[in-house]
């Protein structure tokens, strides 16, 4: 699928998935930026994550957007299965909440984009990202992605080592701003659609 909107039921809920690994040792890793954005969205919704029944995930149900037709029901989720098994919990939540696949949004780290830069799109490949690979295997590629740039590893550092390291001190100075902007982009995507969100946040 290309970067185009897919028409779905206007009243259908949205499933917003932040990708990461559970556990305090991973909390500030580059690979966990999806969790960081999900946590900020949870603050905005005014809820606390709780375990989702049989699904290996933590969820919050809430609403975003102004009162009226632009108001959207959302389920925020953080898979607790570790990154490379994200597809199972996400698919279970999609099916339980009856969310169209086109209303699934995943927020994840992206190596091939400079730090802090955002790219929003619908569908596409996984670019070697294990979380996306698992999701696509479980439910196909036609879900939205909010790609948060982390840049490439320096020198000869292995990709796996780079993504599982904490953001550096210089990066942390701007991290809150970039996470806030990514949360804004998710809200814009859900409320106003992909084209408007791309025009505003694809930098």
14 pLDDT exceeds 90? yes
Q: What are the b/e assignments for 159-189, b being 16+ CB within 10 Å?
A: eeebbbeebeeeeeeebeebbebbbbbbbbb
Reported pTM: 0.93
Q: Per-residue pLDDT tens for 127-140?
A: 899 999 999 999 99
Distance CA 111, CA 107 (A): 13
Q: Per-residue pLDDT tens for 68-88?
A: 888 999 999 999 999 999 999
- The one catalytic residue among 31, 108, 129, 144: 31
**Residue range 23-44: mean pLDDT, rounded:** 97
Banded model confidence at residue 53, pLDDT cuts 50, 70, 90 = confident
**Residue range 113-137: mean pLDDT, rounded:** 96
Active site residue 129: no
pLDDT of residue 3: 40
Q: Per-residue pLDDT tens for 85-111?
A: 999 999 999 999 999 999 999 999 999
Please check whether residue 62 is in contact with residue 45, taking contact to mean a CB–CB distance below 8 angstroms: yes
Distance CA 60, CA 44 (A): 11
9 pLDDT exceeds 90? no
6 pLDDT exceeds 60? no
Q: Per-residue pLDDT tens for 134-163?
A: 999 999 999 999 999 999 999 999 999 999
pLDDT of residue 70: 85
Distance CA 116, CA 64 (A): 24
Banded model confidence at residue 8, pLDDT cuts 50, 70, 90 = low
Distance CA 187, CA 65 (A): 7
């Amino acid at each position: 699928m290309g970067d185009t909107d897919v028409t779905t039921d206007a009243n259908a809920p949205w499933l917003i998935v932040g990708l990461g690994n559970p556990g305090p040792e991973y909390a500030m890793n580059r690979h966990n930026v999806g969790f960081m954005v999900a946590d900020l969205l949870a603050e905005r919704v005014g809820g606390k994550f709780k375990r989702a029944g049989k699904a290996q995930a933590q969820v919050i149900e809430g609403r975003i957007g102004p009162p009226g037709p632009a108001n959207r029901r959302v389920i925020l989720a953080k898979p607790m299965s570790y990154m490379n098994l994200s597809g199972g919990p996400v698919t279970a939540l999609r099916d339980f909440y009856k969310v169209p696949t086109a209303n699934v949004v995943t927020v994840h780290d992206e190596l091939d984009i400079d730090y802090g830069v955002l790219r929003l799109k619908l569908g596409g490949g996984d670019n070697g990202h294990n979380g996306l690979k698992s999701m696509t295997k479980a439910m196909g590629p036609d879900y939205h992605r909010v790609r948060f740039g982390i840049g490439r590893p320096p020198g000869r550092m292995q990709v796996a080592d780079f993504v599982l390291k904490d953001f550096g001190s210089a990066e942390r100075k701007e991290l809150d701003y970039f996470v806030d902007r990514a949360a804004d982009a998710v809200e814009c995507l859900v409320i106003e659609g992909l084209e408007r969100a791309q025009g505003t946040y694809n930098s």
